[in-house]
Amino acid sequence: MENNTTSRLLPLLPGISLSVGLALLAYGGSLLSKHLTGSMVAGPILLAILLGVLVRNLLPVHGRFEPGIHFSFRRLLRLGVIGLGFDFSAHEILSVGLRGLLLDLLVIAFVYGAAVYIGRRRGLPDSLSLLLGTGTAICGASAIVAANSVIRARDEEVAFSVATVTIFGTLSMFLFPLANRLLHLPDPVYGAWAGSSIHEIGQVIGATLPYSHESLRTGTVLKLTRVALLLPVVLLLEAMIILKSRKGERGQGSHAQHFPWFVAAFAGVVLMNFMVAIPASLLSLLQKIDAGILAVAMVGMGLETHLSRLVRFGWKPVGLGFLLWVSVSGVGLALAILLYGPHRPAGV
């Protein structure tokens, strides 16, 4: 039994070691950028992807690295999605309120509708449009991977979508504060705008932290609510897959094959964190471990990305990602003013 386990693990070590090493470089690079500029210009997730892509396409990657790279991308990324459940607390879940839930649901519905409509007008496959829509509407890279468990897009489409939404989300982290210097939004409105429109939780924190505790709290709660909506969104995508398969479309597979069990595990972690009072020190440690797992997984994704295959996508998907970014920012701002402004509707 022990020999069998060892024989399975040994082939994974070179690729996992490479992924971990590049993830550590990504963390070092992001901390260095923060030290030099005063803000994190490039987060570890984006740097992890870029380092993986550069190593794959500029250096010869020996075949012995492939099993570990594949494991980092496929298995560790799912584990990282499950660990996102530790980002929630009972207070945050209960404090979102009706208007916060309404704001997030309206933004998510709009982004998905726009993604499919614009994608089809541009001749893009629905799989790519849905991945870009998921990353923009829910929570960036993690949501894309979760959604792909039922969409089953090509690896290049997944990597392309992750890179695109990460870049635009990073831009939001810097451009939202600049825009607010002109708009002079009240703190709750600005927090609601950032929380409902920016892609990643770290980017929301970066955009709201300089303003006030209220904008930070509002933005973080709304962002975490979007992450919590990951499970129902993926299940809706699963329902679409089942419906298509019943209509006789090929390649859909069975319900058991498509069901995203790791997303269900994510919901279980959220429930556990809601019902069990985990000590703050342990919770912080679990969150840091999960962030590290996600960074290693992002390196694995980058190492599985061949730029020669991405070139065939052209500028159309980049244009779709850009339009979704601009659209979610505009719609999120309008809804934040409506629902969180001083003249919001009574009872909301």
Q: What is the pLDDT of residue 257?
A: 47
C-alpha 105/C-alpha 219 separation (Å) is 15
Q: What is the pLDDT of residue 342?
A: 75
Kindly list the distances between the CA atom of residue 107 and the CA atoms of 44, 311, 339, 345, in Å, as whole numbers in the listed order: 27, 31, 13, 18
Q: To the nearest 10°, report the CA torsion of 228, 233, 235, 239.
A: 170
Which residue, among 126, 131, 164, 125, has the nearest Cα to 145 in the 3D structure?
131
Q: To the nearest 10°, report the CA torsion of 198, 159, 157, 310.
A: 120
Helices first, then strands: H and E counts in the chain: 19, 0
**92-106 b/e with 16+ CB inside 10 Å = b?**
beeebeebbeebbeb
CB-count burial class (<10 Å; 0-12, 13-18, 19+) for 210: exposed
**297-335 b/e with 16+ CB inside 10 Å = b?**
bbbbbbbbbeeeebeebeeebbebbebbbebbbebbbeb
Full DSSP string of 24-62 = HHHHHHHHHHHHHHSS-SS-HHHHHHHHHHHHHHHS---
Q: Which residue has the tokens 């989300």?
A: 169
Q: What is the pLDDT of residue 70?
A: 82
pLDDT in tens, the chain (348 residues): 555 666 677 888 888 899 999 999 988 887 787 777 665 556 677 688 788 888 888 888 878 888 888 888 778 877 887 887 787 665 666 667 788 899 999 999 999 999 999 999 988 888 889 999 999 998 877 788 778 878 877 877 887 888 788 778 878 888 998 899 899 899 999 999 999 999 877 778 778 877 777 888 888 788 878 887 888 888 888 887 777 666 655 444 444 444 556 667 877 887 887 788 788 888 889 888 988 888 888 788 778 776 666 566 667 788 898 999 999 999 999 999 999 887 654 444
CB 111 within 8 A of CB 137: yes
Residue 135, C-beta contacts closer than 8 angstroms, at least 6 positions apart? 141, 143, 144, 161, 162, 164, 165, 199
CB-count burial class (<10 Å; 0-12, 13-18, 19+) for 199: buried
Structure pTM?
0.68
CB 214 within 8 A of CB 188: yes
Q: What is the pLDDT of residue 254?
A: 45
CB 150 within 8 A of CB 258: yes
CB 309 within 8 A of CB 166: no
- Per DSSP, which regions of 84-176 are E strands? none
C-alpha 177/C-alpha 321 separation (Å) is 21
Which residue, among 81, 92, 86, has the nearest Cα to 279 in the 3D structure?
86
CB 76 within 8 A of CB 48: no
Q: What is the pLDDT of residue 40?
A: 55
Q: What is the pLDDT of residue 149?
A: 78
C-alpha 199/C-alpha 138 separation (Å) is 7
Q: What is the pLDDT of residue 103?
A: 94
